[in-house]
Structure formats: structure tokens, C-alpha cells
Structure 1
Amino acid sequence: MAKGKPLIVALNRLFMDYAPIEQSISIDESMIPYFGRHGCKQFIRGKPIRFGFKSWVMATRLGYCLQFNLYQGRLGNDKQDCGLGESVVYNFADVLQTHFENLKFSLFLDNFFTSVKLLTTLGERRICGTGTVRVNRTGNCNLPNDQYYKKTERGSYNHKIDEANNILAVRWKDNSIVTLLSNEYRIKPLQSAARYFAKEKKKVYIPQPNVVSMYNKYMGGVNQFDNNIATYRISMRRKNGTCQSLCGCSTPQ
């Protein structure tokens, strides 16, 4: 990606210069469609865009892109003491703190990025973090397993708090069992989530921890960014050695 690096750097600089800065920011992956041959092309099953370049995106709640970087494999990880997902978050956090030294940000992440180690380090840097987490990344937190929740009602939850690092771990039963970590939000105040029960054929309200409610509210920034891009996506294809431009002319390559 060396040839495209200057363009990416220039775009990221402009994104930050004109950014409508908000406290709550989401970090997630995004796909750029591409069907040609390239070493960085990815295939992700189940995604709306299955073939293309995978990029890491940091966006506001309404879908404004603050920063993006293309995924180029694990060799692009410049922080050898942490995983790929952690290094992506650290790099984006460095950009935020460089441009806005006096502002405190809340980062919302999915389970690819979140870990106890990540939230501990973010807390030391005065950055809040909330995200879903894989069960094997919860450290020594002994929350009930999936077998326990199969016997409980929808909306039940259990939580533990690491007082030393100010990290909350919670498991909540919805359609599936959700596990979250946060160094900012807590269980209370409890919220209500509307769900439809097929057996009773009616809508009911189940208790929802506040950390889950805040995550649902602010995590969708990158998805909104994808929707914004899809509305105005430019399609250009190369065929028979010519470049089909937007005006319809064919220029030999």
C-alpha cells in the first residue's frame, strides 16, 4: 500500500481538521469492495461486502470518519507487545490525544478489540472504553457460563467489578448471551428493552444494564459510515485494457 499511503495520510489529516468532535467514538472494521487481484484483498463470509480491502475506521455516532487505515496483515503491527486489535485502538487513541489534548473520549469497541489489558491501559491514559468481549478475554473474572443462563429468564444478568482498575464485567441474557467490559459505565441505572415474545405473542420489557444501553446507543458509528458511503458509492471497472471513466470515455492504460 506504499503508493496509496500519501493519499491516506492526507485524507486522515483533513478528516481531523474538520471533525465535529464528540466525546463518544466507535472503532470497527469496514470493507472497501474490490474484485481484482491484490495481496491485501480479503474475503469475509457473512458480510454485506465479502470481497475487498478491510480497513479500520474510527467514526462518530452519526457516521463521520475521523481516521481510517487499511489492513495489511500482522506485519503492519508496530506494537509487538500487544495484539493486532489492541494496536489499532492504541494508534487511534494517539491521534485523538495528539489533536485534542484537553478532551476526554469514550471509545466503543466490538469483541475483536476488547480485552482487560486494553481497558486497563486506556484507563491509565485517561480514555474510557466500553465493548463486547470474548469469554476467553475476561481474565480471572468468574462470571456464570452459558449453561447457567439457559435456565434463567430473558433479561437476567451477573456482573463483577475490578476495583483496582475500575473495570466492570457483565453478562446479560438477551436473544443470546452478551458479555461486556467497561471502565466508564455501570449496571445502574437499569434501563428497559422492548422485546417480542413469540409464545405470549406480545411485546414485553426486560431489564437492561446501563452499560449495554450505552453501548447500543454509541457503537453504530462505523455502520452508519458504511451506509453513508453506500448511498454515494462510485463504481469503476477496468475491462479490455481500458479505464471506464465516469463520463463514459475509454482511455487506454
Structure 2
Amino acid sequence: MGPKGPRGRRGEGSKGRRAEGPKEQAIERIIVDMTNLQGVRKYGDGWRPMDSTDLRAYVGLLILAGVYRSRGEAAASLWDAESGRTVFRATMPLKAFHKYSRLLRFDDRQSRPARLATDRLAAVREVWDLWEERLQALYNPGPEVTVDEQLVPFRGRCPFRQYIPSKPAKYGIKSWVACDAKSSYAWKMQVYTGKAAGGCPEKNQGARVVLDLTEGLPTGHNVTCDNFFTSYELGQRLLERNLTMVGTVRKNKPELPPALLQSKGRQVSSSRFAFTPTATLVSYLAKRNKNVLLLSTRHAEPDVSDRRDRKPALILDYNCNKGGVDNLDKVVGTYSCRRMTARWPLVIFHNILDVSSYNAFVIWREINPDWMPGKRNKRRVFLEQLGKALVKPLIQRRQRLPRTEAASALVKVIRGERVSAEDRPQARERAAGPAAAAAPAAPLGASKRKRCQGYEIGNSHIPQAVRSSGSKSSDSESSSGADMAGDYEDWMCDDYQDNCQEDYTHNRDTPGADMEDTRDQEAETSPRSPDSLVDYDIYDSEESDYEVHTQDVDSEQLYSEQVDDEEVVYCEEVYGEEVDTGAVVECEEVDDDEVVDYATFVARPKNHIFGDEGLQRHPGVTDARHNV
């Protein structure tokens, strides 16, 4: 088994920019060529060809939009001269961003029908395969590997869209993922494209997925998976590759001995073990009439912990390593670059960017363990630097300056030109004086979308837009002048750690010990035989020398959900955007062209989606009705 971490020699100069490999260049060339081909077909001679600098700047803006927690925000507001971010206007016009989003392609659309006959992923297959190969070449996973599923939210038209009611998004594109259990680095991924052409369900799909995702994995690793994948046959086939397996088992498996399925007459927190020469089965009674079954080819002894719940060591190992993919979903969703789209290939491309940016952060953290010690906002700073590094070449080659003064000043700074004091946003604010600051803001125009608008009660000023959750005010855009000045100062700051005094709060990037397994797969239809198909030696902890301490433990606690340090509230009235605790937001319900009703609410901290009782009307604001 090779050492964990990035592949290659960590010699001198490893912190510098690494030369691009042929696969990165191939992926970039495919996207640029296919997008230009589609642009010529759409606009003819009016299409200005895209190059690699344009593509990287477009990707950089997507990453920055995710860093600023603007996933659900309209692109027009990001480019807004008053409330937007200066870096967006300084990089490219809004029309160019929309044009790239509409025309971005990953294959030749005219030759696609022939490939769709045999491959449902034909629209992105070439890019996906090249990208997936690159994941394995850049990182050696640790001794613990987790295999699970990932659901990317999507409700548009897609021939292999899945419905999983236990997932938060419920509808989306499902992928099988093998990742490092500790760092959550996505080592191998496979998109599930639905049933075969004949319509018959695939037999032993779970075993096939694990074998595919662990192909090429160095020997000596342990694979942790849940009951959709685990079977005795899979464990034996992994042992042939010198890989071990730990996972929960469904009770309808034919190889299970009847003695382990019985729960009547057993004491709570008791364990029963069954052994073969190569496998170990454990039945743990977490609660009356509820036992949990696990299979392992790694453990050979009936070890039981000294904890009050007397959990076996096999279950404790499973709980420590089962959350790799769940943690990947959490950290990817924190700063996701997903944008609203009706094209499923673009959804897959956004997920590629999210996973790639997190994998890059993992590699950077492994190579530079002393980078920003003691800080919890490392990933946010890394992504912000990554996004700005991608957009910088396009800003430098801009021939015309943007119209807004702040964006123009930012372009001059990046080009290395001298910026006069009068051009800086802070200087203009000071020159305007307190009279300009006290002037009321101009009313926003009517919109056909629901918006969260600023509101002022007493002496407390509420932000123009509430776009972030679970973060301090430095992550939000408190005012238009502060936004422009903040972007300007970020570019002037060379060292985020020493010079930039930003203290962002951020969810932990390391997987927790107890992550909820929310899988809701179809139960297998194969009937269970009353007699086991495998001969086991039964070992009962009740009849052994172990002392069993009875404790009323719910079996659901085995998969308890990890709780973040900060409570995050979700408000459906604001298009599902996350709202800071105590923030006052104005919600407009729009029906066609008429504003029916709006009111101001105070968000209370909740751990679930707001219902009617979760919204409190602010005492200083009354309801109002008006027409657009």
C-alpha cells in the first residue's frame, strides 16, 4: 500500500504552479472546441471564438459565485453596479457570461444520436472519462476507503434522473463514489445512467459497483459500505484483491444464519457473533426487537468495547469510516458553484467543478500542512484565491475598461497600473460625506421573482440582500460601497493570513464519527432461505464472560447526524435561501405581474425547514399591499 497523499515527489518547488498534464489540456480543448462549434452554428460570423483564457475565467466566476454563497442568486445581481461584486464586472460583461452558459458544450451535437444508442452519457462521456482518470492519478487514498452514492440536485429533463425520497433534494443525477474516508477526496466516480436497454433490473448491482470503484486500488485497503452493497460474495471477491470490507447487511440475505436474526429473549446492547475462516458476522441489539447486522472480512475476534452501550469493535470501526461520501456532499454543497439550468450535461459539469475544487484543496492541504495554522476558513480562502487566479489573465488582457469606477479601478490594479486616490471606492465614500450616507436608497424596480430586499427599523440597518447563511457579516454583502471596497482591497492583499483580517466561520471539512446514512434503496427481491447458505460458528456475548449492561439505545443512533457548530435556519419564503439568525428580510410573493402580499419576518434558529410557526412577524413592521 502506497503512502497516503498526493502522488509524485514532494521535492523543492512543489508549492509552485504544476505543469498541466495532457488530460487537463485535452479536457480544456474539448470544451473550447465544442463550444466554439456550437457558437458558430448559432451566431455564424457574429460569434467571437472562445479560448482557454475565456473558459478559465468563466470557471473562475462560477467558483467565486459559490464562495460568496450566491448559488441561488440571479446572475444580474452579481453584476449589479450597486449591490454586486466588483470582480464580476471587471472580468467579463454579463452578456458574455450568459452566452457561455447557453452555448457550453462537451461533444458534437450532430453526431450525438449515434452515440446515444449505446451510451446515455454521450453528451459528456469523453470529458467525464478523462476527468475521472485524472482523479486517480493525483492522489493515493489512505487505508480506509468509503463507497456510497451521491445525488446531484436536478429536476429538469434527463433520461436517468433518479428519485430518492430520503435525500434532501429527492430528485437528481445519481453517482457512485469511492473516496478516502478521512479526507473525503473523491478517488473514483461513476454516473448511474439507469436500467439497461431491455428494462430489466441489474442483478447484484451493489457488488458490481464496489468492484468497479475499487479496481486499481492498491492492496491492503479496507472498503466501508452500507447494506445496499454488502454481501458475503462481495467480501470474498475483495479478498482475492487483498482488500478487506466492513459493512451493514440486509436481513433478507440468504447467507445469514437464523441465530443472528432472532431478537426475542435477548438483552438490549447484547451481541452475537458468527465466524467463517474469512468473515465475521455480528448481530447487535441496539433496542428491543431491533438488531443491527454487520459483516466484516477484517475482524476475526469477538471484541466488545467497554462503553456503556457495549458496542462491538466492528460497529465502532464502521461508524468511524462510513461518512466519507456524506461529508463530501456536505463540504461540496457549502460553496457549490451550481447555477440554475435546464440542461443535465451542465449539471454534471458543475458537479465536476465542485468535486475538483475540493480535491484540489485536499491536495494543497496535504502538500502544505503549515498553511494558515489554526484557521477554520482555509477552504474558503483557498477557493477565493483559486477563483481570482483563474479570472486574472482575462482581466489583464481586457482592451476596454468597465464603465463602473470600482471595476475600472480593479482592472487597473490587476494590470499593475497606478490608481489615483480619487478612483478608490473608499476615497469616494469619504468625499461624499455623511450626507450621502444618510440619503435614502433608491427603491428597487419591480421584479417577477421573489427577492429579499433591505429594510431599516430604528437605528439598525439590514443588508440589501441576505445571500449567505451560517457565516458572519464578512461573508455577506453589507452595502454596495463596502462590496466594491472589499473586492478592491482583496486584490491589494498579498497574504491572506497576515494582512487580511478576515474571520470567516466555516463548517468543518473533516468527516464526523457519526454521519447519518440516509440511503433508501429498493429492497432486494430474493427470498431468504430459513437455513444459512454459509456455515458459521456462533458466539453469543450473553453466554460469555462479558458483562452486559442494559441500556435503552435507539438503533437510529448508530447513524446519528453530525451537528454543526452553528445553527442554520432555512426559510422557504425566501426561495430556500439560508438566512442568518435574527436577520430581517422582506419577502415578496409574486403572482404573474402583481405583488399580492409582502411582510417582514424575523428568522428564528431552527434545525428544520420553517413551517408557519417558524416565522415571526416583526413588531415594528405592518403588512402592506401594492401593485407593480
* TM norm structure 2: 0.33
Report which of the two structures shows the higher radius of gyration computed on alpha carbons: 2
Alignment map for 1:144-155 (pairs within 5 Å): 144-148=260-264, 151-155=265-269
Deviations 1:20-54 (CA, angstroms, capped at 9, x unpaired): 42011010011011111111111111212211001
Provide the residue aligned with 1:130 in structure 2: 246
Residue 171 (str. 1) matches residue 171 (str. 2):
no
1:92 paired to 2:213 = yes
Deviation at 1:7, TM superposition (A): 2.0
Partner of 1:119: 235
CA distance in 2, matches of 1:155, 1:138: 25
Task: Return the alpha-carbon distance in structure 2 between the equivalents of residues 161 and 174 of structure 1.
Answer: 21
| Residue in 2 that maps onto 1:23 | 143
Unaligned segments of structure 2, at least 5 residues? 1-120, 347-628
**In structure 1, distance between residues paired with 2:159 and 2:202:** 26
SS at the partner of 1:14? helix
- Secondary structure at 2:330 match in 1: helix
- Which residue identity is paired with 2:275? I
**Contact residue 57 and residue 69 of structure 1 kept, 8 A:** yes
Deviations 1:100-129 (A, max 9, x none): 4xx311100100001111111111221101
Whether 1:236 aligns to 2:356 is no
Report the 3-state secondary structure (helix = DSSP H, G, I; strand = E; otherwise coil) of the residue aligned with 2:220. coil
**Alignment correspondent of 1:70:** 191
Q: CA deviation at 1:146?
A: 4.7
Measure the CA separation in 2 of the matches of 1:213 and 1:238: 42
Match of 1:46 in 2: 166
Return the alpha-carbon distance in structure 2 between the equivalents of residues 3 and 143 of structure 1.
51
SS of the residue 2:292 aligns to: strand
Report the more deviating stretch, 230-239 or 179-188. 230-239
Q: CA deviation at 1:186?
A: 3.7
Secondary structure at 2:156 match in 1 = coil
- For the residues of structure 2 that align with 1:140 and 1:50, how far apart are their CA atoms? 32
Check whether the contact 1:110–1:133 (CA below 8 A) recurs between aligned residues.
yes
Change (3 A) 1:213 1:65: same
Give 3-state SS (helix, strand or coil) of 2:294's partner: strand
Instruction: State the Cα distance separating 1:187 from its structure 2 match.
Output: 4.6
Distance 2:276 2:202 in 1: 23
- Whichever residue aligns with residue 326 of structure 2, its letter is N
Q: Secondary structure at the match of 1:86?
A: helix
Q: 2:320 is matched with which residue: 217, 220, 234?
A: 217
- Does the CA contact (< 8 Å) of 1:116 and 1:138 recur in 2? no
1:213 partner SS: helix
Q: CA deviation at 1:82?
A: 5.6
Q: Choose between structure 1 and 2: higher strand proportion.
A: 1
| Aligned equivalents of 1:236, 1:169: Cα separation in 2 | 45
The answer as to 2:226 corresponding to 1:110 is: yes
- Displacement of 1:134 in angstroms is 0.5
Alignment partner for residue 255 of structure 2, among 139, 161, 183?
139
**In the TM superposition, what is the alpha-carbon distance from 1:70 to its structure 2 partner?**
0.8
Query: What is the alpha-carbon distance in structure 1 between the residues aligned to residue 316 and residue 341 of structure 2?
Result: 46
Q: Is contact 1:187-1:211 (8 Å) kept?
A: no
- Show the counterpart of 1:33: 153
Contact 1:171/1:177 (CA < 8 Å) preserved in 2? yes
Output one character per residue of 1:148-191: Cα deviation in whole Å (capped at 9) or x when no partner: 2xx4333101111012xx11111101244210111112454322
Q: Distance in 1 between matches of 2:133 and 2:235?
A: 27
Amino acid at match of 1:125: R
Query: In the alignment, which residue of structure 1 is the partner of 2:297?
Result: 183
- Quote how far apart the aligned CAs of 1:138 are: 5.0
Shift of 1:235: 2.9
Q: 1:147 and 1:214 mapped to 2: Cα distance?
A: 23
Per-residue deviation, residues 3-24 of structure 1 (Å, max 9, x unmatched): 2112221222221122142011
User: Residues of 2 paired with 1:30 and 1:178: CA distance?
Assistant: 24
What is the percent sequence identity of the aligned residues? 24
Please state whether the residue corresponding to 1:137 is helix, strand or coil. coil
CA contact (8 A) 1:155 1:206 kept: yes
Post-superposition shift, 1:81? 9.7
The TM-score normalised by the length of structure 1 is 0.79
Structure 1 spans left out of the alignment, 5+ residues:
194-204, 244-253
Give the letter aligned to residue 162 of structure 1.
T
CA distance in 1, matches of 2:338, 2:235: 40
Partner of 2:309, secondary structure, is strand
SS across alignment from 2:209: helix
